[in-house]
Every structure is written in structure tokens, then in C-alpha cells.
């Protein structure tokens, strides 16, 4: 005859393992999602960088340093606005 005391600890261990696996799966999906979004954001930033740089160079073709400064300021402004919008509309899991 099998004792009840031996079955219950094994069942608790199995539940603990399954719970850990589910937690790992959720965290993995979250991190993968973050990595994919970051990759798309980087790609978008590189494309916009070229567009902004070309646009600013056409506007200020006389002074290259001034054009690069304006390009950097515009790019920074766009990035800051993007970060603010992203943090406003995508809630943080820790704040829930």
C-alpha cells in the first residue's frame, strides 16, 4: 500500500515545476516581444536618420556642421516624443 504522505510531496513538487515552467514561458514571450519591438525601432530610426539628414543637408547646404547639429536636434526631438508616447500608451507590468 502506498502512503498518502509520499504522494502529496511529489504532487506539490510537480505543481511547483509546472508553475515555474509557465512563469518562464510568460517571461520568455515578454522578452522576445521586447527584442522584436526594439529591432523594428532600430530599423525605423536608421531609415528616418537618412531621411532627416538628407532633408537638413538640402536646407542648410552652406554650413555642414550647422546642418548636422540641426539633424541631431530633430532626431533627438523625434526620439524623445516617441519614448514619451510609448511609455504613455504601453503600461508597465510592475505598475499594475
Round to whole Å and give the CA distance between 78 and 48.
10
Closest Cα partner for 68 from 51, 55, 56?
A: 56
pLDDT of residue 92: 59
Task: Dump pLDDT digits (tens) for 53-68.
Answer: 777 777 766 666 676 7
pLDDT of residue 94: 55
- pTM flag (> 0.75): no
Task: Dump pLDDT digits (tens) for 7-27.
Answer: 567 778 888 888 888 899 889
Residue 56: burial class (beta carbons within 10 Å; 0-12, 13-18, 19+): buried
How do the residues of the chain divide into helix, strand and coil, expressed in percent and rounded to 5? Answer: 90, 0, 10
pLDDT of residue 18: 85
Amino acid at each position: 500500500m502506498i502512503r498518502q504522505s509520499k504522494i502529496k510531496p511529489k504532487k506539490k513538487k510537480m505543481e511547483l515545476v509546472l508553475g515555474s515552467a509557465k512563469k518562464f514561458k510568460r517571461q520568455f514571450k515578454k522578452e522576445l516581444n521586447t527584442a522584436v519591438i526594439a529591432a523594428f525601432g532600430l530599423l525605423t530610426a536608421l531609415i528616418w536618420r537618412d531621411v532627416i539628414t538628407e532633408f537638413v543637408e538640402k536646407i542648410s547646404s552652406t554650413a555642414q556642421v550647422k546642418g548636422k547639429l540641426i539633424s541631431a536636434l530633430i532626431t533627438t526631438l523625434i526620439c524623445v516624443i516617441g519614448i514619451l508616447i510609448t511609455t504613455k500608451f504601453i503600461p508597465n507590468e510592475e505598475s499594475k
